[in-house]
Amino acid sequence: MLYQKPKGTRDIYGKELKRIEAVCNAARSFFVRNGYQEIRTPAFEMADLFIRSIGEHTDIVEKENYTFKAGKRVYMLRPEGTASVLRAIIENKIPLPRRFLYIEPMYRKERPQKGRYREFIQIGIELIGEDDPIYDAEMIEQGKRFLESVGASGFTIEVNSIGCPKCRSLYKKALKDFLRAKTNVLCSNCTVRLDKNFLRIFDCKEQKCQEIYDTAPKITDNLCANCTQHYATVKKFLAEFSIEFTENKKLVRGLDYYTRTVFEFKHQLLGARDTILAGGRYDLLMEELGGVNAPALGWAMGVDCVILSLPDEQPPLVQRKRFFIATIGEGLITETVELRNTIQKNDHVCIMGNPKDSVKRQLKKANRLQVDYTILYGEDEAKAKVCSMKDMESGEQKQVALKDFASFVKTI
């Protein structure tokens, strides 16, 4: 029987894995410098945590989740990171304000497509306990600077405000009044969403619906005085951070705990699903999950989408050379280990051959492993206190004195 990987998953190795690790390592370095502390949470949680945080009437909960039962408890594989981070803050009584970074696999049973898998790595940052508009702008600016640091370009930034529950209550009435005579034209999904989760109608991809929503009242034009001021201040700080952005009045988040600022980074290379990074403010979620009433904001990006938006040579990979040491004779293991350790201390790769094997067999193995250099070390080399080295690309061979070997490796 031939076993195959599950649909929507993949085996990652070689250059693809190196690029993923390069982006993740760059994120750790960048966000630690900006005051974030990495956090790791369980790959599965109580299902109710995600139902409460993502929303019962969302595609993720209704169609895309991986749920399983153990005894009387129902669990869900983690489809996003925010709920788990907030649960960890509440459960561990972590003092606020706090900045957290997560780099973890997520699981969604959505239709696989370019850059979209059912198991994927997501990078996210969460800032809990800060409500000033400067942090909304700073978080957008940090996303831009990070993407640029790994070689991304050509992306655009869209920003909007969805106000507070007070704004949305009045806006919902205005929107329903506008759509009352048009509900027979809307798609079935929008008809359901209008009652259960009305802001999500703006996410609809149906052209007939979008043409109607183009002329519908917008939430940004129906903000209360406080939310209007908050949004104006966010835009002011974005200008001071020299961030170019577009106001997209149809950009929304369909859940009640989201408040005020929402934003997305988009790239045309990704096609119809062109979002690289998405985030916003969710000031009501901490209390919704049983914690204190604390403001919060964050964003997340899929690593695969980021990589698709980069040139092939980006992010720059660590160029480690690969060595193979063919040892002739078991009595020379100590010296061989010293050569290996010198190579590895200089952050290169070194594989030792089996001294029980013939030289011919060891050299065949070096070829199969596609190393950059093969080192030959036997009795003759030991007596002369040298090692014989072959550049596998050029074919050049030379002897290097053991006393000069460490210096030689540093120059490669």
Does the reported pTM lie above 0.85?
no
Higher-pLDDT residue of 83 and 412 is 83
Apex 402 CA angle, 400 and 407, nearest 5: 75
pLDDT tier at 330 (50, 70, 90 boundaries)?
confident
The b-or-e profile of 74-113 (16+ CB within 10 A means b, else e) is: ebbbbbbbbbbbbbbbbeeebeeebbbbbbbebbbbbeee
Whole-number pLDDT of residue 256: 66
Name the average pLDDT for the chain. 90
Taking the C-alpha atoms of residue 268 and residue 276, their distance in angstroms, rounded to an integer, is: 10
Higher-pLDDT residue of 194 and 60 is 194
Query: What domains can be seen in the chain, in order of their start residue?
Result: 14-164+224-308 (3.30.930.10), 322-410 (3.40.50.800)
H-type alpha helices, 64-132: 82-91
Contact 80, 66 (CB under 8 A): no
Please write the tens of the pLDDT for every residue from 192-243. 777 777 777 877 878 888 888 888 888 888 899 999 999 999 999 999 999 9
pLDDT tier at 11 (50, 70, 90 boundaries)?
very high
Taking the C-alpha atoms of residue 221 and residue 381, their distance in angstroms, rounded to an integer, is: 81
Whole-number pLDDT of residue 64: 79
H-type alpha helices, 221-263: 225-240
